[in-house]
Amino acid sequence: MKYFKIFLLAILAQCSFNAFALDEIVKKQVYELPLLTTVGGEKIKNIKVGYETYGQLNEKGDNAILICHFFSGTSHAAGKYTPNDAGPGYWDSIIGPGKPLDTNKYFIVSSDSLVNLNVKDPNVTTTGPASINPDTGKPYGMSFPILNTQDLIHVQKELSTSLGIKKFAAVAGLSMGSYQALDWAASYPNMVERVIAVIPGGLESNAFTIETAQMWANPILLDANWNRGNYYDSNDKPIRGLENALQLTTINSRNPGWAERLFGRKFTIADKSPEQSWDNTFAIQDAITKAGAGRAKISDANHFLYLTKIIQLYRIGNANTVEEGIKPIKAKVMFVPASSDVLFFPSYSKNASEILKKNGIKSEIVEIPGDGGHIDGITDIAKVGENIRTFLSR
C-alpha cells in the first residue's frame, strides 16, 4: 500500500512538491459554444468545456499563454479549488507569481479538451460521447463525430476570442497537448509567438504511435460490456476493459529505471510470494492495477477511444504532408522531451526540430533529465523552468 500511495500521486500528477504559490483559489469556469462544425463536416450543438485562468489579461490582449493538457489530463494546471485540496494543479511548479509562467506578467488559460477522459470528475466540463445529443435526448455514444486535433483547437480559439485574447505570447502543451500547441502555430500563425512542446510526439503520429494507441484501445473494444459503445443505459459497463486500458497507458508512460528504483522485485505483501499463489503479486503489479481502477472511476470508455483516434490521426495542420502543414508557422518553437521517455522518444523532438529548421522555422531543444519516463514532463517540468523562462523572454 505504501508504494501504491507514492505511485498514484505521481501518476495523477495532481500534487506539486513546491510550495503553493498562487495568491487566489482557482475558479473553474465553463465556456459554451452553440455550434461546432468539425473538420469532417459534422455539426455538434451545445459545446461546453471547462477552463481556468491565472493572472490578468492586459489591455492589448497580447500577454496570454494557453496550456493544452495531456491525454488523461484536465484544465487544472495550477492552483487549488479549495484550501483543503490535497495538492495544486499538475504544473503548479512553473505557474504562479515569479515562476517561469509568471502570473504577474502573463494571463494563462487552460481548458478541458473536447472528449475529455475525466468526464465523471465534477471539476471537469466537456462534450463527447457521454454527453446528451440534443436531437435525440440520449447519449451520443459512438455516433459522436470523429474528431482530430484541429477540432480541439478550434474550440480553444473560440474560447480565447471570448476572453478578449488577441495574441498568445506562447501556446504550451504536453504529450497529446503538444500536438495541439503545434497545430495552433500552423493554424493561427498570426496569433502565436512561441510554442512550448513538452514530451511531444513530433509533427505527426508515426506508425509506432498509431499502433501503441491501438493497443491502449483494444481492452475496451474486447470487453463484451462495451457493446459497440451502447452501454450508457446498461448496468453492465465496460469497466474491466477501461481499467486495463488505463493500466497500459500508465506503464507505457514510465521507464524501466523508474520501476526498478521504486518497486524492484518487492512483493505486494512481504511474506506472500507470487510463486506461492496466483493471488500473490509483485508490488508494481498491485500499484498499476490500483492506478487503473482509480482512474476508471472518473473516466469513460468511449471518451478514451475517441482520444486514441485523435492521436492516431494527428499530422500538423491536418495537411497531406508535414512539409505542407508547417509552412504557415511563424512562431519560435521549443521542444522539451524527457530524456528517459520510452513513449514519445527524445528522437521525435530531434527529428521534428530538424525539419522545422530546414524549413526556416526557429527551433530549439532542452531535455528534462531523470528516469521517470514520459511522466517527467508533468512531475519534473520545474527542472527546465529557467530554460522556459529564458525562451519566453526572447
Catalytic residues: 175, 341, 374
Cβ atoms of 348 and 62 within 8 Å: the answer is no
| Residue 249 CB-half CA count within 13 A | 31
CA distance 250 to 268: 18
37 pairs with which residues across the strands? 43
Cβ atoms of 58 and 68 within 8 Å: the answer is no
CA distance 287 to 1: 8
CB-based contacts of 384: which residues, under 8 Å, 6+ apart? 336, 366, 367, 368
Q: How many residues does the chain have?
A: 394
Cβ atoms of 77 and 152 within 8 Å: the answer is no
> Residue 5: enclosing H or E segment and its boundaries?
helix 2-12
CB atoms within 10 A of CB 235: 6
Closest alpha carbon to 311 in 218, 155, 201: 201
How far does CA 136 lie from the centroid of its chain?
Answer: 31
Closest alpha carbon to 374 in 67, 73, 156, 95: 73
Closest alpha carbon to 187 in 35, 330, 312, 34: 330
Burial bucket for residue 197 (CB in 10 Å: 0-12, 13-18, 19+): buried
Cβ atoms of 204 and 316 within 8 Å: the answer is yes
> Residue 47: enclosing H or E segment and its boundaries?
strand 43-54
Name the 3-class secondary structure at 34.
strand
CA distance 50 to 122: 11
CB atoms within 10 A of CB 369: 12
